[in-house]
Amino acid sequence: MPSETHIEIRDLRLAYGTREVLHGISLDIRRNEIFGVIGPAQSGKTSLLRCINRTIDFSPEASVAGTITVDGEDVRGAKDLYALRRKIGMVAPLPVGLPLSIYDNVAFAPRCAGMNRKADIDAIVEQCLRQAALWDEVKDRLDSLGTKLSGGQQQRLTIARALSHQPEILCLDEFSIAIDPVTTMRIEDVLKDLRKNMTIILVTNLTQQARRLADRTMFLWNGEIIELGPSDTIFGNSPRDRRTYEYVNGLFG
């Protein structure tokens, strides 16, 4: 069981304008674990991820208080913001295929990082597409537009892209919302494989998915942590909080 702290969040408060959506949450995410985050819509799950990789900076009305450290470094004082963001791979609920070819989608981050030897980029593109279980389907048409792929393929493309900068942390935000169950299971297998190399934060609307994959799970509700513990406890018959039991068993209201 992994135990070293990878991401430390202390008293994180986030407000959009005057409306606070994260009310001072504290948690540790451990190296090489799959950390599940469950909770109803509007709980602040996506906002939490955006605070970690600081894409929250792009919402001018957002104000953040508290600290987040990754590998002991405070993300808000990050010396190299771009390096921080490359440390973190992000997969959005609906696949965002950049208007580029399949190859260029995956080569995007390495190129931004300053890599330009074709052979190196080729190798990364192939490796990431293989890791995302997409290589065999697209290896003959790497030059066609990424947006021409099917929904499930596009989501695997965004996973390949998120892996292209060799992140230490992979955040998945409800990645299976728009894809079929078979593809979902394939990606879940991929994730089990990836956790050898990275920490995975799995935000999911399917509680069963967290149950299948996550080592520990956090139940976030209205910007507060209701319960955080080993998945066995959260999904077992006697979690500490009654609301956890109700939510996990679909009785929440």
Partner 1 sequence: MSAGDTQPAAQFSFAVRHAKRPAWALIGERLLTALIYACGISAIFFVLSIFVFVFKEAAPVLFSDRFDLRQFLFSEQWYPTSEINKRYGVLAMTAGTFSVTALAMAIAVPFGLGAAIYVSEFCGPRLKETLKIIIELLAAIPSVVWGFIGLTVMSKLIVQFTGAPVGVNILNGGIILALMSVPIIVSIGEDALKAVPDSYREAGIALGATRWQLVWRVLLPAAKNGLLAAVLLGVGRAVGETMAVLMATGHAVKIPHSILDSVRTLTANIAAELGEAPADSDHYRVLFLIGVLLFTITFFVNLAADMAVRGIRKK
Q: What are phi and psi of 97, to 5 degrees?
A: -80, 115
Q: What are the residues facing 201 on neighbouring strands?
A: 35, 171
178 binds, among Mg ion, ligand ADP, partner 1, none (CB under 5 to 8 A by kind): none
In angstroms, the CA 20 to CA 30 distance is 27
Q: Which of 5, 26, 42, 249 binds ligand ADP (CB under 6 A)?
A: 42
By CB under 8 A, the residues from 111 to 150 that bind partner 1 are 111-113
Asked if 251 interacts with partner 1 (CB under 8 A), we say: yes
Main-chain dihedrals φ then ψ at residue 34, nearest 5 degrees? -100, 115
Closest by Cα among 252, 206, 203 to 45: 203
d(CA 13, CA 63): 8
Q: Name which of Mg ion, partner 1, ligand ADP, none residue 58 binds, using a CB cut-off of 5 to 8 Å depending on partner kind.
A: partner 1
Q: Which of residues 1-30 bind ligand ADP (CB under 6 A)?
A: 16, 21
- Selected from 17, 60, 72, 77, the binder of partner 1 by CB under 8 A is 60
Alpha-carbon gap, residue 73 to 75, rounded angstroms:
6
Is residue 182 within 8 A of residue 133, CB to CB? The reply is no
Per-residue mark of binding to partner 1, 35-54 (x: CB under 8 A)? ------------------x-
Contact flag: residue 253 with partner 1 (CB under 8 A): yes
User: Order of strands, edge to edge, in the sheet holding 169-173?
Assistant: 88-91, 169-173, 199-203, 34-38, 216-221, 224-230
Does 46 participate in binding Mg ion (rule CB under 5 A)? yes
Q: Measured from the CB of residue 181, what is the shortest distance to ligand ADP in angstroms?
A: 22
Site of interaction with partner 1 (CB under 8 A):
53, 55, 58, 60, 82-83, 85-86, 88, 90, 92, 94, 96, 98-100, 108-109, 111-113, 158, 161-162, 164-165, 246, 251, 253
Residues at the interface with Mg ion (CB under 5 A): 46
